[in-house]
Structure 1
Amino acid sequence: MSRKYFGTDGVRGRVGEFPITPDFALKLGWAAGQVFSQQGTRKVLIGKDTRISGYMLESALEAGLAAAGINASFMGPMPTPAVAYLTRTFNAEAGIVISASHNPYHDNGIKFFSAQGTKLPDEVEHEIEAQIAKPVTCVESAQLGKASRIVDAAGRYIEFCKSTFPSDMNLKGLKIVVDCANGATYHIAPNVFKELGAEVIAFAVEPDGLNINAGCGATDTKALSAKVLEHEADLGIAFDGDGDRVMMIDHLGHQVDGDELMFIIAAFYQRQGLLKGGIVGTQMTNLAFEQAVEKLNIPFVRAKVGDRYVMEQLLEHNWMLGGENSGHIICLNHTTTGDGIVSALQVLAAMRYHHQSLREQLGGLRLYPQILINVRFKGQQDPLESAAVLTVVAKAEQQLGQGGRVLLRKSGTEPLLRVMVEGDNHTLVERLANEIADEVRRQCA
């Protein structure tokens, strides 16, 4: 887990617009340095993805840290989960990632990890936010922080990823197309799978600062699907810009999403006696997934959408496996945060153990059609408090019965209501989703 600072709105910002600017990054680095120094911290690691603004923000962030007396070690482009892992292995007091994950190149953000490779405690985040409001000061010259570079970071992380794959297995005989989204995994993921014996066809591994997540990666798998069919590969693996999400493509060119991948991992772990407790999903986890794990007698709970909420539920229940349909999967038996490469390796281990294809590993799991409509509303009317909207929702739920569900969720950043309906009848699901969306528009126009 990590904290994102996209600027003063706390959500997102664009370089060249407001609010993510070099002076904000400098001040954030200084504010974090002030808090870290009070805890005796002197060393932090800094990684980034491949978007062009990372160079600028990296320099500004380091300047702020140095002014607060904090030493910074740079790793260059590295996946977010790699920074979490290396923060632990290098015994650093904190790790920082400059990345906007699956967003387009013109967005960027800054994420923090604790010395344990987890999100910072809330009280530390609040202290940093409080320091941002203060004027920047500088320590004495003799106490300024120093900068250094870690040259073997990629190799260390590659070895870690390989260590999460069973030592008595390999990937020989598998042809895999690996889509790195022109992001932080471009120089790492292909090597992990090659060194485990697979024939790898690398795709979207030529970052230019502007092409991250553009028509490739976990958020757009159409090109990967075509590559799998073109090369008659056994499967395709797609990561997002910072490598914490994964999607897969089977040999027929069909996408296998995060829910399906998590089902494969859970079933494999259970058969091996490795599964600790149950599974944490989110409000968006497909109902068919919930029903499938119930048949396996695996406990399941839903968290709010967002990896931090999944992690909170995992820690509360003392479980080890959770994730989202977006492909952000957390395997706490191996790492401390969502890791696309590690998650993919768990799926591949299941395939090798059972001598089955990716499609065969899904068994009888068939996800229900899920329709999502974003409705913009105006004025002071809260659509979740509208009697007319709630009546339409109740009628929809009655028609769906046990074979479906309705979820209405407000965006945390803009006046949007996300209307989600899912069920085993696609025609019915689509009709009900549109009826609810239309009622929201009528009541909240």
Structure 2
Amino acid sequence: MARKYFGTDGIRGATNIFPMTAEMAMKVGMAAGAHFRRGDHRHRVVIGKDTRLSGYMLENAMTAGFTAVGMDVVLVGPMPTPAVAMLTTSMRADLGVMISASHNPFADNGIKLFGPDGYKLSDADEVAIETLIESDAQLAPSAEIGRARRVEDARGRYIHFAKSTFPTDLSLDGIKIVVDCANGAAYHVAPSALWELGAEVVAIGVTPNGLNINDGVGSTAPDQLCERVVAEGAALGIALDGDADRLIVVDEKGRVVDGDQLMATIACGWSRRGLLKGDGLVATVMSNLGLERHLSANGLGLQRTSVGDRYVLEKMRADGFNVGGEQSGHIILSDYATTGDGLVAALQILAEIARAGRPASEVLHQFDPLPQILKNVRFAAGFTPLDDATVQEAIAEVEAELDGNGRLVIRKSGTEPVIRVMAEGDDRGEVERVVDRICDAVRAVAA
């Protein structure tokens, strides 16, 4: 059954425009609370958020919804998405909520839900919650309305957890690191954890004001970080996104290192030490063909999934992998976390560099990526250009022309009315031509 409100990663949209309104947030709280009320114990939900101005509004609305159906609410304030997942399990909660639109601008916001095991919800759970949203969840009797409380030491709990994932035989003493927190959820915890491990920390993107999250900083805007790493003579730079579940690294020369290179670094390092499970890693259809060839040359495999870290994680759990992620920097290390964790992934990268005793530019350059081009074509909401016969014909012709010499990935975004067209291959000119051809076909029917 198709989902109406939930997309690739929860519910997301422009705030104060349906479905990202206070009224809808309260309904989601009521529906999710009712769905996860199982048994006669006192039920509990953990709610975290990033630093968007609208987080106050949505946090209060969801608190009202949860307490209305009899759930107690634990508020942890601005915290990374992976911290909310971790706290959900450590606090024995029945549900976890992260209020965030990840790397999107401040005007957007979203709602991500985690089950009692700390994992994102299944499609079936999301469909069940949507049904309750539209049918009105049953309210609790007056004496059973939930209570809300704020936990003040949540940051310390997460910092302690993150530090525990760094190998005890290694140290960050004397290593200068520039960390960019995107004026988002990790603005306090990431610099603190790195400093407590001994690093010399230069922090940027750590002055959130409700409006500047992801604004010229963070993993989707690394230019400032690149410049600062070089200016400071730092060993490397770490860029997180608004909710800190995504990681991009900048080497000492100021060059950006994407998720594919980072996954290859971790997987190959773990393989050498007998820590890698599944004899490879899991990535999406967007990961570069160069990653696949590199892993193969090292006796490792690559399993591909649809776009979305939830699908990567499903494959990892089903087939026993412990490394997976996306080219965009969502990296899941299931030995430590139930979702992507930018800080934990960064600590594993730092461990590989420390062990190698070589510069980041050498350690993290695992392979030469094939030319890969991604373009987006916006279309009117409610219309799907990929269903058009002329677009389908153009796609079929391009696939026939590539004939094993490259890859073509075309998909509808799960968070906005956009068709994403990606192609890669050994010949950059051919890659550009096929992407433009498909984009032109989509534009022709979307106009």
- Within a 5 Å distance, the mapping from 1:185-204 to structure 2 comes to 185-204=186-205
CA, structure 1 residues 188+211, in 2 after alignment: closer, same or farther (shift >3 Å)? Answer: same
Q: CA deviation at 1:178?
A: 0.3
- Which residue number corresponds to residue 78 of structure 1? 79
Superposition deviation, residue 334 in structure 1: 1.1
* CA spacing shift, 1:182–1:101, aligned 2, 3 Å: same
Q: CA deviation at 1:44?
A: 1.1
1:303 aligns with 2:309: no
Aligned-partner SS, 1:104: coil
Does residue 1:424 correspond to 2:430, yes or no?
Answer: no
Per-residue CA distance 1:356-403 (angstroms, 9 max, x = gap): 2211113551112211122356787526863344223322x14xx54x
Residue 94 and residue 372 in structure 1: after superposition, are their counterparts in 2 closer, same or farther (change >3 A)? same
Residue 24 of structure 1 corresponds to 24
- Paired AA for residue 254 in structure 1: R
CA distance 1:147–1:412, shift in 2 (3 Å): closer
- For the aligned residues, what is the CA RMSD? 2.4
Q: Which runs of 5+ in 1 are unaligned?
A: none
Q: Give CA-to-partner distance per residue, 1:185-232, whole Å, 9 cap, x none.
A: 001000111111110000010000000011100111011111111111
Secondary structure, counterpart of 2:13 in structure 1 = coil
Counterpart for residue 105 of structure 1: 106
Paired residues for 1:349-364 under 5 Å: 349-364=351-366
3-state SS of paired residue (1:177): strand
Change (3 A) 1:138 1:219: same
In the alignment, structure 1 residue 392 sits paired with structure 2 residue 393: no
Separation in structure 1 between the aligned mates of residue 136 and residue 68 of structure 2, nearest angstrom: 12
Q: For 2:359, give the aligned amino acid.
A: S
- SS of match in other structure, 2:407: strand
Could you say which residue in structure 2 is the equivalent of 1:45? 46
Instruction: Tell me, yes or no, if the aligned pair for 2:82 and 2:340 is still in contact at 8 Å.
Output: yes
Q: Sequence identity of aligned pairs in percent?
A: 51
- Residue 230 to residue 184, structure 1, CA distance change in 2 (3 Å): same
Greater alpha carbon shift after TM alignment, 116-125 vs 212-221: 116-125
Offset from partner CA, 1:90-113 (integer Å, 9 cap, x none): 111211111111111111111111
Equivalent-residue separation in structure 2 for 1:100 and 1:125 (angstroms): 18
Using the alignment, how far apart are the partners of 2:168 and 2:188 within structure 1?
A: 23
Which residue of structure 2 aligns with residue 344 of structure 1?
346
CA distance in structure 1 between the partners assigned to 2:312 and 2:436 by the alignment: 29
Q: What's the counterpart of residue 388 of structure 2? A: 382
Cα separation, 1, equivalents of 2:205 and 2:367: 30
Distance 1:361 1:118, change over 3 A: same
Q: How does 1:237-252 map to 2 (within 5 A)?
A: 237-252=238-253
8 A contact 1:73–1:150 mirrored in 2: yes
Counterpart CA distance in 2 for 1:124 and 1:418 is 27
CA distance in 2, matches of 1:18, 1:36: 24
Shift of 1:325: 0.4
The CA distance in 1 between the partners of 2:223 and 2:102, in whole Å, is 19
SS of aligned partner of 2:221:
coil
CA spacing shift, 1:139–1:353, aligned 2, 3 Å: same
Tell which deviates more after alignment, 256-265 or 426-435.
426-435
Range with bigger deviation, 358-367 or 332-341 = 358-367
1:442 Cα deviation from its structure 2 partner:
5.4
Mean Cα displacement is larger for which, 60-69 or 133-142? Answer: 133-142
Give the distance between the partners of 1:221 and 1:293, measured in 2 at CA.
Answer: 27
- 8 Å CA contact 2:5, 2:130 repeated in 1: no
Of 291, 294, 301, which residue of structure 2 is paired with 1:292? 294
Tell me how far 1:81 sits from its aligned partner: 0.1
Instruction: Give the C-alpha shift of residue 265 in structure 1.
Output: 0.4
Match for 1:256: what amino acid?
V
- State the alpha-carbon separation in 2 of the partners of residues 412 and 195 from structure 1: 38
Q: TM-score, normalised by structure 1?
A: 0.92
Conserved in 2, the CA contact under 8 Å of 1:4 and 1:111? no
* Deviations 1:254-292, CA, capped at 9 Å, x for gaps: 000000110110111011110011211111000001100
Amino acid at match of 1:18: F
Contact map agreement 1:44 1:72 (CA 8 A) in 2: yes
Aligned position for 2:282: 280
Amino acid at match of 1:347: I
Deviations 1:65-118 (A, max 9, x none): 111111101101000000101111111121111111111111111111111111
Partner of 1:316: 318
Q: Equivalents in 1 of 2:153, 2:10: separation in Å?
A: 33
Deviation sequence 1:298-328 (CA, Å, 0-9, x none): 1211101111111111112111111000000
| 1:388–1:353 CA distance, 2 compared to 1 (3 A) | closer
Q: In the aligned structure 1, how far is the partner of 2:36 from the partner of 2:424?
A: 46
Residues 50 and 183 in structure 1, CA contact (< 8 A), matched pair in contact too: yes
**How far 1:414 sits from its partner (Å)?**
6.1
